[in-house]
């Protein structure tokens, strides 16, 4: 079986795919809305601290584990110790649950592309977004369409698409973001947005915010779901994974910061509420576009590029369950893709309806969409990352494979992997979920 495993054509393809996985809706959609719900600048400070200190460690562990074992998540965990198989399964399960809300947002993007193409004139975007997400048929169709596209690309083999999306579309996306930032900064009261983003109010620190920052850091870097492990397992011979990890972290953080600087000045200028939740970007951006000459064209360009970013991340999310299905159940990729399509659709449809007819159905006071978003990022991903560090540090003894040239760095990494990161993860989970 292992001879049939896919592999990246070059080191660059791998880096592009990994950056493509990281940069997605997590940066442009989720980051501003979670930051808006958690006090702005103070959240940013904690988030950046976590990214710059601890996230590197589980990221490297995932990539290395994939690269050395060269198996899907479940088989990789199982090969270290058969008892870890169940923990391994938690990765594709998390992937399926993330897909079930991520692809809904992908569907919203498709709707906004169409809106821009039709040049529909709307005055109250908050009301529009509320009404749109309450509908049943269009939202479900768009969710399924987005899901279908991800599954389609994954079934066809993703290398070419990912390469194109990342080589051409992502730099273009960064250029559009910078253009929009410049525009956003010239809006009246833009400075209030910058203050909100960069002037921390330390009185707003609380346990939930710390866990939310951890959840966002893991989500945006694609850590704790097996995506990096699976992508790592397709690496042939890249000796310098450390450099790849830095590249992923740098590009991802850059995109998140650009998104924030684009969104927050506009939020304050248009008198919107930063803490308004998952619709934040979908309400704020149309306001920006409505102020720009030929804004509908800019809007179409923006949402098409966001769509591309979302697709490359979506592909990496479903690649995890697909790799496990193909390798464990010995079925073809196409068959695995079809089965997965049905499973995700079965969860994603009720989740899509959780803004409309299933609004009354709440888990822990949250609708299904918010619950899945919360449970995967703030619970499952930190847990998966914790198990990963423990398994990689204590059982795989990954240290032997890492940084052999630099003994000091290797020691530091080992201590981080075995003690520091697990302790931080357990503490944040404990205080955040109490
Ligand atoms: N990191 C992706 C984003 O920011 C989402 C993702 C999560 C991808 C987990 C893979 C695994 O959009």
Residue nearest to atom 6 of ligand 1 (CA): 222
- Alpha carbon distances (Å) from 130 to 121, 350, 355: 16, 17, 8
Residues within 6 Å of ligand 1 by CB:
21-22, 24-27, 98, 219-220, 222, 225, 227, 313, 316-317
Question: Looking at residue 400, what is its pLDDT?
Answer: 61
User: How would you class 330 by CB atoms within 10 Å of its CB: exposed for 0-12, middle for 13-18, buried for 19 or more?
Assistant: exposed
Give the pLDDT band (50/70/90) at residue 2: very low
Question: Looking at residue 397, what is its pLDDT?
Answer: 74
The atom of ligand 1 lying closest to the CA of 221 is 1
Give the pLDDT band (50/70/90) at residue 156: confident
DSSP 124-170: -HHHHHHHHHH-SHHHHHHHHHHHHHHHHHHHH-SHHHHHHIIIIIH
Residues 6+ apart with CB under 8 A from 408: none
Residue 206 per-residue DSSP state: -
Find the helix packing angle between 125-134 and 280-291, rounded to 10°.
140
CA dihedral sign, ordered 423, 425, 428, 433: negative
Give the pLDDT band (50/70/90) at residue 363: very high
In this predicted structure, the answer to whether residue 269 has a pLDDT above a threshold of 80 is: yes
The atom of ligand 1 lying closest to the CA of 29 is 12
Cα–Cα distance between 400 and 159 in angstroms, integer?
Answer: 31
Distance of CA 314 from the midpoint of ligand 1 (Å): 7
By the 8 A CB rule, do 219 and 381 touch? yes
The atom of ligand 1 lying closest to the CA of 24 is 12
Cα–Cα distance between 54 and 339 in angstroms, integer?
Answer: 36
User: Each residue of 17-58: pLDDT tens digit?
Assistant: 899 999 999 999 999 999 999 999 999 999 999 999 999 999
Enter the pTM of the model. 0.95
CA neighbor of 380 nearest in space, from 371, 368, 392: 371
By the 8 A CB rule, do 193 and 265 touch? yes
Distance of CA 120 from the midpoint of ligand 1 (Å): 31
Distance of CA 313 from the midpoint of ligand 1 (Å): 5
Distance of CA 317 from the midpoint of ligand 1 (Å): 7
- In the block, tokens 């049943």 appear at 136
Cα–Cα distance between 203 and 65 in angstroms, integer?
Answer: 40
Mutate which of 21, 94, 223 for ligand 1? The one with the most ligand atoms within 8 Å of its CB, which is: 21
- Apex 53 CA angle, 49 and 56, nearest 5: 125
Question: Looking at residue 57, what is its pLDDT?
Answer: 95
User: Each residue of 80-139: pLDDT tens digit?
Assistant: 999 999 999 999 999 999 999 999 999 999 999 999 999 888 989 999 999 999 999 999
- In the block, tokens 């309400």 appear at 283
Residue 365 per-residue DSSP state: T
Distance of CA 225 from the midpoint of ligand 1 (Å): 9
Helix (H/G/I), strand (E/B), else coil: 177: helix
User: Each residue of 184-233: pLDDT tens digit?
Assistant: 999 999 999 999 999 999 999 999 999 999 999 999 999 999 999 999 99
Distance of CA 21 from the midpoint of ligand 1 (Å): 6
Residue nearest to atom 8 of ligand 1 (CA): 222
Please state, for a pLDDT cut of 70, what percent of the chain lies above it: 95
Residue nearest to atom 7 of ligand 1 (CA): 222
Distance of CA 122 from the midpoint of ligand 1 (Å): 31
């Amino acid at each position: 079986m292992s001879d049939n495993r896919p592999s990246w054509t070059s080191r660059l393809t791998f880096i592009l795919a990994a950056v493509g996985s990281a940069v997605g809706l997590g940066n442009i959609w989720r980051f501003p809305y979670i930051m808006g719900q958690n006090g702005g600048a103070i959240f940013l400070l904690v988030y950046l601290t976590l990214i710059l200190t601890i996230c590197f460690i589980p990221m490297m562990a995932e990539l290395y584990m994939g690269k050395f074992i060269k198996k899907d998540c479940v088989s990789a965990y199982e090969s270290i110790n058969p008892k870890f198989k169940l923990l391994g399964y938690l990765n594709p399960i998390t992937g399926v649950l993330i897909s079930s809300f991520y692809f809904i947002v992908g569907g919203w993007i498709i709707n906004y592309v169409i809106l821009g193409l039709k040049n529909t004139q709307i005055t109250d975007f908050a009301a529009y977004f509320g009404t749109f997400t309450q509908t049943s048929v269009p939202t479900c169709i768009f969710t399924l369409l987005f899901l279908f596209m991800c599954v389609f690309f994954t079934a066809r083999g993703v290398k070419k698409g990912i390469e194109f999306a990342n080589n051409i579309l992502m730099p273009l996306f960064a250029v559009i973001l910078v253009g929009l930032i410049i525009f956003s900064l010239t809006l009246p009261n833009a400075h209030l947005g910058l203050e909100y983003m960069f002037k921390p109010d330390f009185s707003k620190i609380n346990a939930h915010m710390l866990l939310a920052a951890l959840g966002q850091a893991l989500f945006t870097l694609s850590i704790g779901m097996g995506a990096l492990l699976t992508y790592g397992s397709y690496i042939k011979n890249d000796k310098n994974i450390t450099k790849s990890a830095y590249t992923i972290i740098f590009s991802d953080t850059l995109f998140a910061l650009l998104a924030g600087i684009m969104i927050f000045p506009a939020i304050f200028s248009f008198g919107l509420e930063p803490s308004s939740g998952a619709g934040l970007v979908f309400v704020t951006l149309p306001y920006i576009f409505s102020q720009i000459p030929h804004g509908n064209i800019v809007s179409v360009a923006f949402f098409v590029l966001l769509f591309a970013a979302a697709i490359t991340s979506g592909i990496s999310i479903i690649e995890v369950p697909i790799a496990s299905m193909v390798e464990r159940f010995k079925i073809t990729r196409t068959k695995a893709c079809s089965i997965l399509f049905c499973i995700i659709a079965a969860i994603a449809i009720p989740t899509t309806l959780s803004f409309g007819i299933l609004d009354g159905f709440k888990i822990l006071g949250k609708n299904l969409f918010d619950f899945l978003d919360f449970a995967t990022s703030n619970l499952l991903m930190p847990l998966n990352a914790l198990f990963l560090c423990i398994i990689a540090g204590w059982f795989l003894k990954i240290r032997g494979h890492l940084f052999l040239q630099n003994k000091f760095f290797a020691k530091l990494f080992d201590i981080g992997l075995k003690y520091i990161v697990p302790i931080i993860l357990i503490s944040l989970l404990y205080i955040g979920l109490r």
